[in-house]
Structure 1
Amino acid sequence: MRIGFLLVLLSGIGLAQAAPPQTLRVDIQHAGDAKSERYALERVVVEPLPWPGNPARPIDTTNRGAQKFEVVDPDSGRVLYSRGYSTVFGEWQTTDEAKQMQRSFQESMRFPMPAKPVLVKVYGRDANNGFSPLWSVRVDPQALDVERVARPAPARPIAIRRSGDSSHKVDLLLLGDGYTAAEMDKFQARARALADRLFNVSPFKERAADFNVWALAVPVPESGVSRPSTGVHHVSATGARYDIFGSERYVLTLDNRAFREVAQYAPYDAVEIMVNGETYGGGGIFGQFSTVAADNDWRDYVFVHEFGHHFAALADEYYTSPVAYASADTPRVEPWEPNVTALLDPRHLKWQDRVAAATPVPTPWPKAEFEEHERQIQARRKQLREQRRPEAEMSALFREEQAYTDKLFADAPYRDAVGAFQGANYSATGYYRPQLQCMMFTRADAFCDLCAHAIDQIIDLYSTAP
């Protein structure tokens, strides 16, 4: 029965006749502390669905991600497949906890099944933000310990938007967590609404035909996900919860195996985990997954913002909200993220070709007024959480915050210019963002030009020929 369902699914997305390779997943453990890291192979899995990726773009040339993996033919040395990505471990490594103890995190690398044994090589950023080799492992797809038998699908994926063959589309999976069997209609309705929102924001709006969207949720016994800071603990289908790294709004899963075991029953290049909760929250890891609290009043913004992290490796441009992980205030090298710069040499700005000759660099903006108001907002925000006030009060505070910012920026001299605006990447002074306003800076409703361009490049990676 499972095989019959898979054939129907594959036929519906144009994969059954194309006979793509199977999907191989390499699960690893990534461990260490603030000053060290190491890797170990956990398992190799043949996923139940064929490879959904773009056969014309096996090599990632975008230079995104804190890390990169390559699948290499050991005989010729030829790179067969590569992708940049970031990790939960990489974020944890900058926390205070990482200075005091060691931890291990699960990660996965997925690629089309090779015909013979390959080397999987992992790279990380060096002191100059170039990629340097960190670890490698030989993977034999025919080895006896490769897991090949998939369990019966725990739920059926639903086609929210179907544009064509997965091999030339971005397959986005909306993965629900915290929904009971009685709440499946609620999940599907919210998934459709969030997908509609995504394709109302440029550049996704203009590139909607390049996407397939799937929705999949495994029912859980109790409604909602865990929020340990309030004593709430629930069984989870993916491991997603609030309070990651001690941040009350940070939602991730640290159970990579659980989320992959569910996600593998739908074609996917990107995954957004929708948690059934009304408390503001979300998160995004490039090349891994993103999350959103799907019942919160700000879900539309959080969904698209966090998807920007996960899908296109966009950096946060804000710097006034507290975060659990750190960024240097005095960077020594240019960051690899496409939408922030250290402005080490104003004569050679990262996005110089988009800056008008009349725009000064650094670019003036009402920074002092913005920061003074933000100090008040963040103090009130902290108080609301400490007093466990109703979520409606937090939503109202965010509306007030955005209204003030919009009014403040309305008459700014370089409101629509591309330049270098000081304050980004969690730092008030060390980094610069390309435009005054963007979804990666405030709760605005649009991406800046640089972020939109960066998103377009990743869409091309999954949907077009070179």
Structure 2
Amino acid sequence: MRKNIWAALLISACTQIGAYAQNFDDFFINKTLRVDYLFNGNAQKQEISLDELVSLPGWAGRRNFLDKLPLEGNGQITMKDKASGKVIYRTSFSSLFQEWVSEEEASRVTRGFENTFLLPYPKQPATVTIELKNVYHQACASLTHEINPDDILIHQRGTTHITPHRYLLQNGTPEKCIDLAIMAEGYTEDEMETFYKDAQTACEAIFAHEPFKHLKERFNVVAVATPSHDSGVSIPRKGEWKNTAVSSHFDTFYSDRYLTTRSVKAMHNWLAGIPYEHIIILANTDTYGGGGIYNSYLLTTAHHPMFKPVVVHELGHSFGGLGDEYAYDTAPSPQYPYSVEPWEPNITTLVDFESKWKDMLPAQTPVPTPAETDPNTIYTKVGVYEGGGYTLKGIYRPTTECRMKINEAPRFCPVCERSLEKTIHFYTD
């Protein structure tokens, strides 16, 4: 299987390098442009508003494949050089707002959600276009705005009052490595040593899994001691509301275990001045829950017995763009219409299975594939197993069990591993 993975990566890398002719230093300086947006709307109509531009010291993101996308995502950002019209940077993302739009509440309420993205800082005036897509992968909202890099109202952050932090893993400079920031949520000043221990546990759990394990040298991990006034996090169904660093709470969309935050700007303000690309937030509670949003953040609880598998699962979402492989309803999921192929690499409706893991199927594999019962192969035998993306019918996953399906799984399946490995190489080659 490893040979197949590397063959696919080599083909992909050669294709990208052949098309790549852009030098980071031609268009950017070693700074970060943080762009804060508001996503507004309801189930019928969505809009995007520009909130604030922020300048941060240093650029921790990729310096190659700048005009390529790692994955399609539910939204995309494109930066163009204003003078030439050349695409100089692209990235993709998902958002809590886009999940909410598919909820019943969105049919009768209009809301706004904070969203923040990190872009390389342009040398010359540029235009940025941000686009949201609906579940049919059609554009449903977009905004184009100009960036004047000399604008005096671009807020300068990260040069003073840096949040205390401690490196847990440091393998190179930010430009050479993927920088993961682990933040404290619901830890008071007196509980920071507990946080650092919890962050170390999370770090060890992540790098016990492939492909993170054998590509560990491509990562830096920093634990950021973001203090909260109160210990613990908010649990609305119990009437418990806490004053915490990023105001997270359970019961997102009225789901008991869905733990998220809408205070995205606060999160990024805490991190200003520390190199980071991907955000892990540890909540100081033993209540079960979590959430991970692609290229945004993940949140998980640090003192539940399932802490270690959950933080790895949620990183699969937030870093790797992997979809949930579990299913609990025969009804179609509002997030995954059967008529379109999900962009997540580890689930399929078979509309465009060629783009997924068809090349990894053993010969004569039946579709759908009967569930494996052998404990030696339930995590590794690749097939097309019905059930995934929250629905029991019409959506398929690669193996019977996987870290993206159950907490008891000791590993990601081969398809998820291949996708994660490709993503790591995309950011670091």
Match of 1:157 among 155, 165, 168: 165
Per the alignment, residue 312 of structure 2 pairs with 304
CA distance in 2, matches of 1:287, 1:145: 26
Tell whether 2:423 aligns with 1:455: no
| Offset, 1:76 | 1.3
Question: Which segments of 5 or more consecutive residues in structure 1 lack a partner in the other structure?
Answer: 1-18, 367-407
Match of 1:439 in 2: 403
The one of 117, 120, 124 equivalent to 2:128 is 120
1:228: Cα distance to partner? 1.1
Q: Give the length in aligned residue pairs.
A: 401
Which residue, 35, 47, 56 being the options, matches 1:38? Answer: 47
2:364 alignment partner in structure 1: 358
- In the TM superposition, what is the alpha-carbon distance from 1:364 to its structure 2 partner? 1.1
Q: 1:189 aligns with which of 197, 209, 213?
A: 197
Instruction: Give the CA deviation at 1:415.
Output: 6.4
Q: Does the C-alpha gap of structure 1 residues 178 and 297 become closer, same or farther in structure 2, counting only changes over 3 Å?
A: same
SS of equivalent to 2:383: strand
Return the TM-score normalized by structure 2.
0.88
Corresponding residue SS for 1:241: coil
| Deviation of the 1:409 alpha carbon | 5.2
1:417 maps onto 2:381 in alignment = yes
Cα–Cα, structure 1 residues 128 and 226, in superposed 2: closer, same or farther, change >3 Å?
closer
Q: Which moved more, 1:118-127 or 1:293-302?
A: 118-127
User: Which residue of structure 1 aligns with residue 228 of structure 2?
Assistant: 220
The answer as to whether partners of 1:330 and 1:430 remain within 8 angstroms in 2 is: no
Give the direction of change, closer, same or farther, for the CA distance of 1:118–1:75 in structure 2 (3 Å limit): same
* Partner amino acid, structure 1, of 2:392: A
The SS at the match of 1:361 is: coil
User: C-alpha displacement at 1:173, in angstroms?
Assistant: 0.4
Letter in 2 for 1:100: R
RMSD across aligned C-alpha pairs, in angstroms? Answer: 2.4
1:152 CA displacement: 3.6
State the 1:174 CA deviation.
Answer: 0.4
* Counterpart residue identity of residue 424, structure 2: I
Q: 1:207 aligns with which of 212, 215, 227?
A: 215
SS at match of 1:312: coil
Match of 1:8 in 2: none
Q: SS in structure 2 opposite 1:320? A: strand
Equivalent residue letter for 1:447: F
Q: Which residue of 2 aligns with 1:287?
A: 295
The alpha carbon displacement at 1:57 in A equals: 3.1
One-letter code aligned to 2:52: R
Which amino acid is the alignment partner of residue 446 of structure 1? R
- Aligned mate of 1:430, from 390, 394, 402: 394
Residue of structure 2 in register with 1:379 after alignment: none
Higher helix share: 1
Which residue does the alignment assign to 1:275?
283
C-alpha distance 294-411 of structure 1, shift in aligned 2 (>3 A): closer
1:259-294 Cα offsets, whole Å, 9 max, x none, are 110022321111000010100111000000001101
Provide TM-score, normalisation by structure 1.
0.81
Structure 2: gaps of 5 or more residues: 1-27
Give the partner amino acid of 2:334.
Answer: S
In 1, the alpha carbon distance for the partners of 2:169 and 2:329 equals 35
**Change over 3 Å in CA distance of 1:321–1:237 after alignment to 2:** farther
Sort the Cα spacing of 1:329 and 1:165 in 2 relative to 1 into closer, same or farther, 3 A: closer
4+ residue segments displaced more than 4 Å: 130-133
- Alpha carbons of 1:234 and 1:345: their partners in 2 closer, same or farther (altered >3 Å)? closer
CA–CA distance in structure 2, aligned partners of residues 330 and 221 of structure 1:
43
Label 1:148 to 1:155 Cα distance change in 2 as closer, same or farther (>3 A).
closer
2:348 matched to 1:341?
Answer: yes
- Superposition deviation, residue 63 in structure 1: 2.9
Equivalent residue number for residue 9 of structure 2: none
Deviation at 1:441, TM superposition (A): 1.1
After TM superposition, the structure 1 = structure 2 runs for residues 257-276 of structure 1, keeping only pairs within 5 Å, are 257-276=265-284
Name the SS of the counterpart of 1:261 in structure 2.
helix
1:55 aligns with 2:19: no
Q: Could you tell me how far apart the structure 2 residues matched to 1:149 and 1:197 are? A: 32
